C-alpha cells in the first residue's frame, strides 16, 4: 500500500450468511488510474464496489480513501461518484435537477450549481437536454445523465458497476468510446469499473483485476494480462485463449506441442522437460488442408460475419480424447468439410506459457498467486 493511493482495499472480506462474497481482497487504485474488476457473474465484483461505496460492511478488513480508513463511514459521507447498471435517476426531476441533486445536498450556491450542471451536461454531450425528464430519454442518454450526476460533485473516485450492460450492442460500443474519452479527460479521478465483459475491461482499464470465486486471481496491466496471462483462467476469460499441453524444451520459452516446436513468451526461465500450458489466441492459429502442423480433424465451422470460427480436434497431445482448439480465420476457401483431416498451425511467436493448474482447482488454489503455482518455472 502506498500513501498516494486514492483507493485501498486492505484484506476485505464480505460474508452474506453462509456465502462468502468476497475473500481477503486487497487492491490499490491510484489517482488518474482506471482499474477494471473483471470476472464472471457471482465472482464478487459488485460486492467489492459496494464495500468501497459503503453499501455493505466488510466482515473483516478495511477500505481506505486517500489514506483514510472509511470502513465505518456511511455512504453519503464518502463523497464518491457511483453509477450502476439501471441508471437510477429520479423520475420526477429534470435532467438538470438530477445532475444538480448532489450539489444541492452539499448546499452549493444556486449560480455555481447551475454552472456546474451546464459543465457536466457538456462533458457528456447532453447540452440541450437539461429540461427533459428521464422518461423522455433513451437508455444511453439516461446513462450519460447518471454519469454526469455522479461526476457533478467532483468526486475523487468514480465507481461504475456494469454501466453499459442494459444497452444494446451498437450503443454499448459507442458509449464505450465515450467512456474512454471521458476517462482521458478526468486525470484527477480514480475509476473502478466492474464488468464481466472483456472488451470493456481491455478498452477502458489501465489495469485489470481478474476476479474468480470471491477472490482476486490476477492483477496486471490490460496488455500484460492479455500477452502473458498468469493463469489458465485469465488466459481463457480474457481473449478466449486455447490452452494446449506443452513440454518445455529450453528455459527461454521454446516448447514442444506434440511434434511441433514453437517459441513462446514465458513469465520467467522455464525448467526443461516441465509440462506447461500454452495459451494460443484463436486468431493466431492457421488451419490448412495439408502441409505442416498438428494433425487434427475439423469438427466445427461457424460463420461469424467478420471471420469463421473453426473447431479442430487435435489427436494425442497426452490427452485421452485429444485437444479441441478454436481458430478464427478470415476465409474457409480451400478447406475440407467438417469431419475431414486438417493441419493446425500454431504461431511461431506470440503464444504464452501459463500455469498448468489442476483440472479441478479449488477456491483455495485460486488464491495462490503466480508464479508459485506455475509448474515448471525455475
- Residues 328-367 within binding reach of ligand ADP (CB under 6 A): none
Shortest Cβ 313–ligand ADP spacing (Å): 33
Q: Which of 46, 228, 234, 242 is close enough to bind ligand ADP by CB under 6 A? A: 46
| In contact, 120 and 148? CB cutoff 8 Å | yes
Whose CA is closest to 217, among 377, 357, 359, 365? 365
What does the DSSP assignment read for 192-223? EEEES-HHHHHHH-SEEEEEETTEEEEEEEHH
Q: Which residues from 70-89 bind ligand ADP, rule CB under 6 A?
A: none
Q: How far is the CB of 61 from ligand ADP (least distance, A)?
A: 15
User: Partners of 277 in the beta sheet?
Assistant: 245, 354
* Closest CB to ligand ADP among residues 41, 170: 41
Residues 247-266 that bind ligand ADP (CB under 6 A): none
234 versus 311: smaller Cβ distance to ligand ADP: 234
Phi, psi of 356 (to 5 degrees): -105, 90
- Select the span of 40-48, 140-148, 248-256, 295-303 touching ligand ADP (CB under 6 A): 40-48
The window from 35-43, 89-97, 297-305, 351-359 that contacts ligand ADP (CB under 6 A) reads 35-43
Residue 195 sits in the site that holds ligand ADP (CB under 6 A) = no
Interface stretch with ligand ADP, choices 13-21, 88-96, 167-175, 177-185 (CB under 6 A): 13-21
* Nearer CB in complex with ligand ADP: 165/254: 165
Q: How far apart are CA 306 and CA 164, in angstroms?
A: 24
Nearer to ligand ADP by Cβ, of 36 and 287: the residue is: 36
Which of 46, 113 has the CB closer to ligand ADP? Answer: 46
On whether the CB atoms of residues 212 and 233 are closer than 8 A, the answer is: yes
Q: For residues 47 and 228, which CB has a smaller minimum distance to ligand ADP in the complex?
A: 47
85 contacts 36 by C-beta, under 8 angstroms: no
**Residue 16 engages ligand ADP in binding (rule: CB under 6 A):** yes
- In terms of Cβ atoms closer than 10 Å to its own Cβ (0-12, 13-18, 19+), residue 42 is middle
Q: Does 130 bind ligand ADP (CB under 6 A)?
A: no
Q: Closest CB to ligand ADP among 212 and 345? A: 212
With binding defined as CB under 6 A, does residue 13 bind ligand ADP? no
Instruction: Residue 89: name the closest of 44, 31, 39, 132 by CA.
Output: 132
- Residue 371: is the preceding peptide bond cis (ω within 30°)? yes
Number of residues that bind ligand ADP (CB under 6 A): 11
C-alpha cell recorded at residue 44: 464478487
Of the pair 138, 199, the CB lying nearest ligand ADP is at: 199
Which of 8, 10, 27, 39 is the binder for ligand ADP (CB under 6 A)? Answer: 39
The C-alpha atoms of residue 218 and residue 167 are separated, in whole angstroms, by: 28
**Strand, coil or helix: what is 330?**
coil
User: Minimum distance from CB of 22 to ligand ADP (Å)?
Assistant: 7
Give whichever of 214 and 280 is closer to ligand ADP, judged by the CB atom.
214
The phi, psi pair for 215, rounded to 5°, reads -130, 155
Whole-angstrom distance, CA of residue 83 vs CA of residue 377: 42
Query: Contacting ligand ADP (CB under 6 A), which of 27, 38, 45, 152?
Result: 45
Question: Which residues in 234-293 belong to E strands, given as ranges?
Answer: 242-248, 254-257, 260-263, 275-280, 286-288
19 interacts with ligand ADP by CB under 6 A: yes
List residues near ligand ADP by CB under 6 A. 16, 19, 21, 39, 41-47
Amino acid at each position: 500500500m502506498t500513501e498516494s493511493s486514492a483507493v485501498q482495499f486492505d484484506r476485505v472480506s464480505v460474508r452474506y450468511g453462509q456465502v462468502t462474497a468476497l475473500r481477503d481482497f486487497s487492491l490499490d487504485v491510484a489517482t488518474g488510474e482506471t482499474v477494471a474488476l473483471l470476472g464472471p457473474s457471482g465472482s464478487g465484483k459488485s460486492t467489492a464496489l459496494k464495500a468501497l461505496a459503503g453499501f455493505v460492511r466488510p466482515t473483516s478488513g478495511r477500505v481506505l480513501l486517500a489514506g483514510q480508513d472509511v470502513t465505518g463511514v456511511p455512504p453519503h459521507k464518502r463523497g464518491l461518484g457511483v453509477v450502476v447498471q439501471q441508471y437510477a435517476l429520479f423520475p420526477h426531476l429534470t435532467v438538470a435537477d438530477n445532475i444538480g441533486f448532489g450539489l444541492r445536498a452539499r448546499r452549493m450556491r444556486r449560480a455555481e450549481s447551475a454552472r456546474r450542471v451546464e459543465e457536466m451536461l457538456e462533458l457528456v454531450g447532453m447540452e440541450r437536454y437539461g429540461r427533459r425528464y428521464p422518461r423522455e430519454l433513451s437508455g444511453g442518454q439516461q446513462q450519460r445523465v447518471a454519469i454526469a450526476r455522479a461526476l457533478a460533485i467532483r468526486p475523487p473516485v468514480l465507481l461504475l458497476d456494469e454501466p453499459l450492460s442494459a444497452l444494446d450492442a451498437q450503443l454499448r460500443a459507442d458509449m464505450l468510446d465515450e467512456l474512454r474519452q471521458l476517462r482521458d479527460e478526468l486525470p484527477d479521478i480514480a475509476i473502478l469499473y466492474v464488468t464481466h465483459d472483456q472488451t470493456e475491461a481491455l478498452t477502458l482499464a489501465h489495469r485489470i483485476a481478474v476476479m474468480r470465486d470471491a477472490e482476486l486471481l490476477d492483477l496486471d496491466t490490460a496488455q500484460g494480462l492479455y500477452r502473458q496471462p498468469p493463469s489458465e483462467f485469465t488466459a481463457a476469460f480474457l481473449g478466449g485463449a486455447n490452452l494446449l499441453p506443452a513440454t518445455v524444451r529450453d528455459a527461454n520459452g521454446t516448447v514442444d506441442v506434440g511434434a511441433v516446436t514453437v517459441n513462446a513468451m514465458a513469465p520467467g526461465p522455464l525448467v526443461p522437460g516441465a509440462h506447461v500450458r500454452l495459451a494460443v489466441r484463436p486468431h493466431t492459429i492457421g488451419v490448412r488442408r495439408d502441409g505442416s502442423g498438428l494433425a487434427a480433424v475439423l469438427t466445427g465451422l461457424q460463420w461469424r460475419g467478420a471471420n469463421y470460427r473453426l473447431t479442430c480436434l487435435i489427436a494425442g497431445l497426452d490427452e485421452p480424447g485429444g485437444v479441441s482448439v478454436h481458430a478464427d480465420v478470415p476465409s474457409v476457401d480451400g478447406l475440407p468439410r467438417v469431419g475431414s483431416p486438417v493441419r493446425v498451425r500454431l504461431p511461431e511467436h506470440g503464444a504464452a506459457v501459463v500455469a498448468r493448474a489442476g483440472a479441478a482447482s479449488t477456491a483455495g488454489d485460486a488464491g495462490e498467486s503466480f508464479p508459485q503455482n506455475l509448474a515448471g518455472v525455475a
